[in-house]
Structure formats: structure tokens, C-alpha cells
Amino acid sequence: MKFSPSLLRGTLIKRYKRFFADVELEDGTIVTAHCPNTGAMSGCAEPGYTVFLSESTNPKRKLKYTWELAQTFDGHFIGINTHNANKLVAEALDNKVLKEFSDITRWKAEVTPPTANSRFDFALERENAQHQGIIEYMEVKSVTLAENSKGFFPDAVTQRGAKHCLELARLAESGIKTSLLFCVQHTAIESVQVAEYIDPTYAESVKKAADAGVSLLAASCIIDEQKILLNQTLPLIL
């Protein structure tokens, strides 16, 4: 995913009320940007971080700018916009980036299975003879919480996330192939763990999903101020 037009560089003053961030642009102008991230954003929103904003030309938008990236003091990039995770996975599916999904021929976003109560990020169809014509389901989570080189999810309690895991488990137990993909949007992260110390209920739901046969994966991204590209799987520690 390439950013076009180019992002605007600035310095973070503060994030507040979850959805707002004050940023000083390179020319000294101070603007308020939309923060498209409802999580705690621990370690992602330190005042003084270099940040990158996209600029909208839509006159109906209340806020002209959207906070897309942050760069830590030691140079690591973070994808702030959680809405980009599904875009990155969709692009990776189209480009056959991950070998686990290299035989996917068709996908559809935001699908509710006939026997489920939750809407999942993707419905997938493979081309191989064993699975041809059979629909499987994928849920995507964006990971940005880093402790040294370890990534953790979630960064805040997520009842919705736990519900999705249990729904995936129920589908898997009924014979439907399902997967949970952690999309890592932080260049310091080299492995991913479930943050049991933040949300033990979510951690338990992930374990139940794994026991039920849900496929669990983590994938890293190449990030710079021009682009974000999902590129390879990472170790996932349960």
C-alpha cells in the first residue's frame, strides 16, 4: 500500500480523547488530526515522535488530516491507522505474499457466515482440489504494542475480540476452516504474543480457538513514509 499523495511530516504534540492528535507540521503550523485507532496505543503516541499525516480534499470532513504513521525516537515505524490492516491483508492475498494463502483465488471482505453471529474480515476460497468451492473465514488484528522486539495483542481489553475468537472456534469445530491473522504494524517487532497480562479473557479465547483448530498466524510489515507492505510471517507464541 503506497501513500499517494505523499504524507505530511510533523511532530506529535499530544493525542487526546482517543480520536484526536495535535501535530506541529514542518512549517510550524499546528493542526488537529483524526486518530484512527481506538486502542491504548501504548508506546505509539509519545509527544515528540515524528508523525506522518494524510490530507483529505473532502470539504465535508470535519478534520482535514489523518494520522497514518509514527516514528519512534530510535527510528522504528508504526502504522497508526488500524483500518489499514485489512487493506494490507487484501493486497497480500492478491499478490500471494504469504504461502499459507498462496492458493486463494477469491476473497470477499466483511462477511457474516450463515451459521455465525459475527461478521468476519474476510471470506476466502482456494483453488486446490481439496478445498475448491469451500469458503473459509479470516479475522485480522492489528498489532502495535511492542516491548523490545516482542509484540503483544491486545493493548486494551477487547470483548469484541474475544467474541470473534470463540465464533471462529465454533466454526472450526463444525468443520469450517478459519484463521486469525495478527498484522504487525511496528518495525521493531520480531515475534507476537497474546497479552494475557492485559486481557486474560481474550488470551483464554485465543487458546480455545487454537485448540478447536483455528489457524493462528502473525505477519510483519515493511513500513516507511512512502508505503506499508505486509511481507512475511513472524513467530507466534501462545
* Domain span at 143: 84-237
Q: What is the pLDDT of residue 93?
A: 97
pTM for this prediction: 0.95
- For residue 175, the domain's CATH number is 3.40.1350.60
Number of domains comprising the chain: 2
Q: How far is CA 115 from CA 2, 108, 168, 173, 227, in A?
A: 37, 17, 11, 12, 38
- pLDDT for residue 128 is more than 80: no
Check whether residue 222 and residue 131 sit in a common domain: yes
136 SS3 class: strand
Check whether residue 89 and residue 72 sit in a common domain: no
pLDDT tens digits, one per residue of 68-99: 999 999 999 999 999 999 999 999 999 999 99
Check whether residue 130 and residue 45 sit in a common domain: no
Q: What is the pLDDT of residue 47?
A: 98
Check whether residue 56 and residue 16 sit in a common domain: yes
Domain end point (choices 79, 99, 120) = 79
Q: How confident is the model at residue 148 (pLDDT cuts 50, 70, 90)?
A: very high
Check whether residue 159 and residue 44 sit in a common domain: no
Domain end point (choices 79, 94, 124) = 79
Q: What is the pLDDT of residue 130?
A: 65
Check whether residue 33 and residue 99 sit in a common domain: no
Check whether residue 196 and residue 229 sit in a common domain: yes
Q: What percentage of the chain has pLDDT greater than the value 70?
A: 98
- pLDDT for residue 51 is more than 70: yes
Check whether residue 201 and residue 185 sit in a common domain: yes
Q: Using alpha carbons, select from 61, 66, 88, 221 the residue that is nearest to residue 146.
A: 221
Check whether residue 217 and residue 154 sit in a common domain: yes
Q: What is the pLDDT of residue 129?
A: 53
- pLDDT for residue 56 is more than 80: yes
Decide if 1 is inside a domain: no
Mean pLDDT, range 6-34, rounded to an integer = 98
Q: What is the pLDDT of residue 134?
A: 82
Check whether residue 208 and residue 225 sit in a common domain: yes
Domain end point (choices 33, 64, 79) = 79
Q: What is the pLDDT of residue 76?
A: 98
- For residue 63, the domain's CATH number is 2.40.50.580
Q: What is the pLDDT of residue 238?
A: 85
Q: What is the pLDDT of residue 174?
A: 95
Check whether residue 68 and residue 97 sit in a common domain: no
- pLDDT for residue 18 is more than 80: yes
Decide if 74 is inside a domain: yes
Check whether residue 213 and residue 105 sit in a common domain: yes
Q: What is the DSSP letter of 186?
A: B
Cis status of the peptide bond prior to 113, with omega within 30 of 0: no
Decide if 2 is inside a domain: no
Residue 81 contacts residue 237 (beta carbons within 8 Å): no
